[in-house]
Amino acid sequence: MKLSVWTYEGPPHVGAMRVATAMKGLHYVLHAPQGDTYADLLFTMIERRNHRPPVTYTTFQARDLGSDTANLFKTACKEAYDRFQPQAMIVGASCTAELIQDDPGGMAELMGLPCPVVPLELPSYQRKENFGADETLFQIVRMLAKPTDRTKHITANLIGPTALGFRHRDDITEITALLEEMGISVNVCAPYGSTPEDITRLGAAHFNVLMYPETGEAACRWMERELDQPYTRTVPIGVGATHDFIKEVAGITGLAPKIDTSRLRLPWYSSSVDSTYLTGKRVFLFGDGTHVTAAARIARDEMGFEVVGMGCYNREMARNIRALAKEFNVEALITEDYLDVEARIEELAPEMILGTQMERHIGKRLGIPCAVISAPVHVQDFPARYSPQMGIEGANVIFDTWVHPLVMGLEEHLLHMFRDDFEFHDDAGASHHGHAAKARVETPEPAQVEPAPTSDNVIWLADAEKELKKIPFFVRGKARRNTEIFAAERGVQEISIDTLYEAKAHYAR
C-alpha cells in the first residue's frame, strides 16, 4: 500500500483508452464498475474531443457481483458490436474487474464476434498508463499487421502518438512535413487517426519513426523483428536532435539528409545579445523520460542553461535518465511521488523548473518560474494554435515557452538596480504576466532578528540575512545555496556579509 496524493500516470486501462480514442473504427469494451466512466471526461474536457471515446463500460454494481457479471460483459460486447459496427475490438478489465476474474479476453474470443477481437491483459496493480498504451498498441499491431509488399516510393509509419498526448496532434504535422522534404511520405500514423484496416497496412512502410518511446516502443520492436522494419531512435525535439533525426533517417533510407531551416529561429534568438541573461540559469527537469532527455540537451546546448537536477516519473525510463544524469553530473530522481519532487526542488533551489503541470504547482508554491515540457496534461496543453514540440517549429515553440515564465533581460537588470523600489520589487513579479500589481509592504525592522534558517549547521548572521534579502528573488535561492556550500567547504560556521560576497566572487560567472 502506498499513499498517493497526486499521480503522474493513470491506471493502465486509461492508457488503452488513449489508444482506442486516438483511433477510428476501433471499439473498446471495458469490464469496469460504475464510476470508471469518469475517464471519458479526460478526453471530452481536457482534450476537448467532440465525440465520446469509443468505449463501452459494463458498469457493474454490487448487486451484480453475486449473480452474473460475466453475462453483463457478454451482453455489453454484443450490443457494442451491433451499435458501433467496429472494424476491430479490444477488450479488457479495469482494476476492480481484474479482481473478479471474469476473463473478458477469453469470453470475447468464445463469442465469435464478426470482427477481430484483441484481448488485453493490463495488470492494474503493477503497471500504469504509459505501459497500458504501449501494450495496447503492441497487441493491436501484433494481431492485425501482416508482412506485405513495401510501397514503391519510400514511406514511413509514425508510431506512438495517442489521444491525450502532450502536443502529439501538432508533432504529427511537423514530422510529416520534415519527412516530406526528404521525399518520404507517411504510410500510416498509429494509433493517432488510424483505423484497424490501416494497421494491417503497416508493413508497407520502409521504416518506422518512433515518436514517443513511452507509447510506441513495443510495437516498433515487434515490427522490426517481424516485418523487418528499422525504426528511428532519435526523438526530434530541439535543434540538435532534429538534425540528428534527419541524419538517422538518411542513414536508414539512403536518401540525402535535407532540412529547410529558413523558419528555424531558436539558434539566432538564443545567440542574440538579448538572451545573455539566460546564461547559466539553473534549471531542474522533470517529466516523462523522453521529454526530459530532449529538454536536457536543449537546456544545456541550445539555451545555455545549467541543468542542476533531472528526473522522470516513468520507471520504464529510469535507466536512460540515470545514464543521462551521470553525463550531466547530477543525481537522477526517479519517483512517482510528487512530494519527493517538491523536496528535491526545494533543496536545489533552481531558478526555473521545466516540468509537468505538477511541477508548475510546486513552482507556484515555491515562487519558482516553471515551463511545462511533458504530460500529464492539462487543458492548457491543448492550445488552439499550432504548437508542436518536435522539429523546426517545435524548437521555436520551446524557446518562447521556456523564456516566457522568466523575468526578461533588461527587466532583470532593472530589478537589480531598483530592488527596493516601491513598485518594482520582488513580489511584483514579471511585468508581462497578467496579475494585479502589488505595492511593496514596508515591514518595520524587527527589534531582534531571529537566528536565520540554517542548513548543515551553518548560521546566517542577521546582517548577512538582511543583505541576502536585497538580492532579487529569482537569484536569491542560488545565492543562499552557493554561500552555504562555500561556507561549509571552508568550515565557516557563521555567514557574515563578507562571506556572502566572498562566495559571490568565488562563483562569479
Of 71 and 272, which has the nearer Cβ to another protein?
71
320 binds another protein (CB under 8 A): no
Judged by CB under 8 A, the number of residues near another protein is 61
CB of 287 to another protein, least distance (A): 15
The minimum distance between CB 41 and another protein, in angstroms, equals 4
Binding flag, residue 71, another protein (CB under 8 A): no
| Dihedral of alpha carbons 384, 389, 393, 396, sign | positive
- Look-up of cell digits 454484443: 78
Of 27, 31, 74, 128, the residue at the interface with another protein (CB under 8 A) is 128
Residues 25-54 that bind another protein (CB under 8 A): 33-42, 44-46, 48-52
Does 264 sit near another protein (CB under 8 A)? no
In angstroms, give the least distance from the CB of 359 to another protein.
Answer: 10
Q: DSSP 3-state assignment of 142?
A: helix
Q: Of 2 and 225, which has the nearer Cβ to another protein?
A: 2
- What are the two backbone dihedrals, phi and then psi, of residue 272, each rounded to the nearest 5 degrees? -65, 150
Tell me which residues in 425-464 interact with another protein (CB under 8 A).
none
Q: Choose the catalytic residue: 68, 228, 260, 274.
A: 274
- Could you say which of 24, 65, 426, 462 contacts another protein (CB under 8 A)? 65
Cell of 255: 536518401
* CA atoms of 186 and 153, how far apart (whole Å): 11
Q: Does 10 sit near another protein (CB under 8 A)?
A: yes
To the nearest 10 degrees (0 to 180), the angle between helices 473-489 and 497-506 is 90
- Unique residue bearing C-alpha cell 536569491: 476
Q: Round to whole Å and give the CA distance between 119 and 464.
A: 66
Chain length of the chain: 509
Is residue 85 at the binding interface for another protein, with CB under 8 A as the rule?
no
Spatial CA neighbour of 17 closest among 47, 42, 35: 42
Contact between residue 166 and residue 192 where contact means Cβ atoms under 8 Å apart: no
Does 1 contact another protein by CB under 8 A?
A: yes
Q: Nearest to residue 143, comparing CAs of 119, 174, 166, 125? A: 119
| DSSP single-letter state for residue 408 | P
CB of 65 to another protein, least distance (A): 7
Label residue 238 left, alpha or beta by phi (over 0 means left) and psi (-120 to 50 means alpha): left
Q: Which of 114, 126, 417, 436 binds another protein (CB under 8 A)?
A: 126
C-alpha to C-alpha distance for 480 and 462, rounded to whole angstroms:
14
- Quick one: which of 21, 56, 215, 387 contacts another protein (CB under 8 A)? 56
Active site residue 274: yes
Give min distance, CB of 49 to another protein, in A. 7
Q: Nearer to another protein by C-beta: 82 or 149?
A: 82
Residue 3 found at the interface with another protein (CB under 8 A)? yes
> What is the Cα–Cα distance from 175 to 184, expressed in whole angstroms?
11
How, if at all, do strands 332-334 and 306-312 pair?
parallel
Q: Give the interface with another protein as residue ranges (CB under 8 A).
A: 1-7, 9-11, 13-14, 33-42, 44-46, 48-52, 56-62, 64-65, 76, 79, 83, 94-96, 99-100, 123-126, 128, 339, 357-358, 361-362, 364-365, 376, 378
State the catalytic residues.
274
